[in-house]
A and B are shown apart, each in its own frame.
Chain A
């Protein structure tokens, strides 16, 4: 009986999801999957959103592309090259660049910094044979479009007050509980 109620509830919830409109992202994905405007090998590069590179990786494989976005995380040096990550529209992609190319970088995007906005040209690999099948871009040029900056996160005075009051209340209740428990459980 309980199982029947459980599964009936789940089925009703499933049906309710059908009433929701198809998400905008699903519609956008269908548009991306349309074949028009696909690049061909050796196309001269035009700026491509990273999300589109991933979605149409098969078509962009081996072509020269240009991406633009914020450099995030870390510069991971590997000999005379380094890995960097470019974030564009919520999707990040790994870029394999020479140590010389990355000297232009000043700010890496993290919690306390907005990273430099870079324009990267390079060859896109859907499954890079040099890097164990990673989807990546081997950069031929890296330039800074916009310098990054420090990000400040000021303390919210209202939240601080609430935090102190709640912690004090919680502490008081904790003491009250322990005392009450000792009193009730006392033989």
Chain B
């Protein structure tokens, strides 16, 4: 690897980026079919144009970079970082053609929000967009949840190679099977299984609450996609509040909670290992922090008499908290109600929940329950060590798909990632304050984009400064890929300037 030329490295990275863009082109065919089925011919032309543009770019890059070399670890990492940015630019084209955006930056913001399963939107007049554009929005978030590289790995089963770097670069490091290819396919099998169950449940619920069968099906499919991927998009501007339904809220709660769990946990449970569900460090961590934060949110809301009874407290307080903690972003309140009614205590609890996030190797964002659990175990270990003689060796164990012994390397790795999240969270908070927003509002929005959540306190809209949009795009991207691919990409750019290969 060290002896190869940088030109060969670039070709290899462009080749695999091209394959991922061809995957994006293939996705365009689904909203294209939706447009034709719905009689939205103008929209169908937009998607055909987007398909053609993505295919031309993707196939062009792939053809240009054809090589006999196999991708190495760093090629995978850099490709992951670069391809998410290129995919953002390419997938924004249908948004721009729709005429529902005030600029291409807003289109790219919404694509990054979708792919990273964040869920904050800058779209204009959402309530009048076509079915095909809604399909595109929710498809992006659904595929982004699994990972666009995982999607490409599953799509190009014979050609993407087996680079583990591609997989890890996308913020996933848990192999369900020894082969990355089989792992990618397993992730998709699990997602499709839940897609069928979730869409059916929400379709029936939609008809029960008064939607027509056709609208109930589309809304059910889209809401499921956004719930499972912890994306938080919805076809109407009022988000989940639009449905005014406790049934809808219960079903979405179930699917976004399940969606925030580790794919390895799903795989274990589907194989019959149900004990893992209650003993795994991530589910224990999630259960603990959710319980503690529920107490804080409820205390804050009760103190200010925000809701009239326990039902409203659960449907508003607990639902928004669970949505925040799983990094979904579904809302049954208006963004400005957080700022004007909820008070500092409840908003603070939501910020903490958004930063902690869901499970590793899932569709969720944030620090991840695994890292919080590891850091907690490290504190316990250190405390026990202090209470024992110097010569004593304290071994700390935890359950994570088998019993593991806590190592210094695991603690260091978890602490570094959490630290990097905190740093970019602080920078985006500062950016919000510099743009003229109050500190708590800025921290809330920053936690939401950094943790890929999607709850908003009202800052994110098309009128916010372009610089702030770019900071938020960066945080969504960095938060989703968990820094490694971004650092690798920066290292690659640096290597180009220093005229050495990676």
Contacts and interface: CB of A to CB of B under 8 A. Distances in A.
A148 B474 CA distance: 42
20 contacts: A2-B491, A6-B490, A13-B470, A14-B428, A18-B434, A20-B466, A23-B463, A23-B465, A72-B236, A87-B127, A91-B237, A109-B128, A111-B129, A127-B316, A135-B333, A135-B334, A153-B40, A167-B51, A171-B55, A177-B66
Contacts of A134: 241, 244, 332
Contacts of B471: 10, 13-14, 17
Interface of A: 2-3, 5-7, 10-11, 13-26, 29, 54-58, 72-78, 82-83, 85, 87, 90-94, 96, 109-112, 126-127, 129, 131-136, 153-156, 159-160, 162-171, 173-174, 176-177, 180-181, 184-185
Which of A132, A155, A164 is packed against the most chain B CB atoms within 10 Å?
A132
Which of B67, B420, B466, B467 is packed against the most chain A CB atoms within 10 Å?
B467
B386 to A, nearest CB: 31
Given A17-B434, A111-B131, A127 B312 contact: yes
B159 A181 contact: yes
A136 B333 CA distance: 11
B60 interface: yes
Given A57-B341, A127-B307, A184-B68, A111 B128 contact: yes
Interface residues on B, range: 35 or more
Contacts, number: 235
A2 B437 CA distance: 30
B242 interface: yes
A133 B308 CA distance: 7
Interface in B18-45: 18, 22, 25, 40-43, 45
A153 B43 contact: yes
Contacts of B306: 127
Nearest to B492: A2
Given A14-B431, A25-B461, A111-B130, A5 B340 contact: no
B63 A176 contact: yes
Interface stretch (B206-214, B255-263, B286-294, B395-403): B206-214
A56 B337 CA distance: 9
A76 B209 CA distance: 6
B324 to A, nearest CB: 17
Contact of A163 (B45, B423, B427, B490): B45
B56 A173 contact: yes
A154 B42 contact: yes
A1 to B, nearest CB: 8
Interface of B: 18, 22, 25, 40-43, 45-46, 48-49, 51-56, 58-60, 62-63, 66-68, 97, 124-125, 127-131, 159, 209-212, 215, 236-238, 241-244, 246, 306-309, 311-313, 315-316, 332-334, 336-337, 340-341, 420, 423-424, 427-428, 430-431, 434-437, 458, 461, 463-468, 470-471, 474, 486-487, 490-491, 494
Nearest to B212: A74
A23 B436 contact: yes
A176 B59 contact: yes
Contacts of A7: 423-424, 427
Contacts of B58: 170
A159 B56 contact: no
Nearest to B334: A54
A173 B341 CA distance: 56
A51 B275 CA distance: 49
Which of A16, A74, A168 is packed against the most chain B CB atoms within 10 Å?
A74
B127 A92 contact: yes
Contacts of B316: 127, 132-133
A11 B427 contact: yes
A17 B468 contact: yes
A2 B490 contact: yes
Which of B128, B237, B464, B466 is packed against the most chain A CB atoms within 10 Å?
B128
A22 B430 contact: no
A14 B159 CA distance: 41
B100 to A, nearest CB: 10
Contacts of A159: 45-46, 49, 97
Nearest to A25: B463
A94 B420 CA distance: 41
B143 to A, nearest CB: 20
A4 B221 CA distance: 43
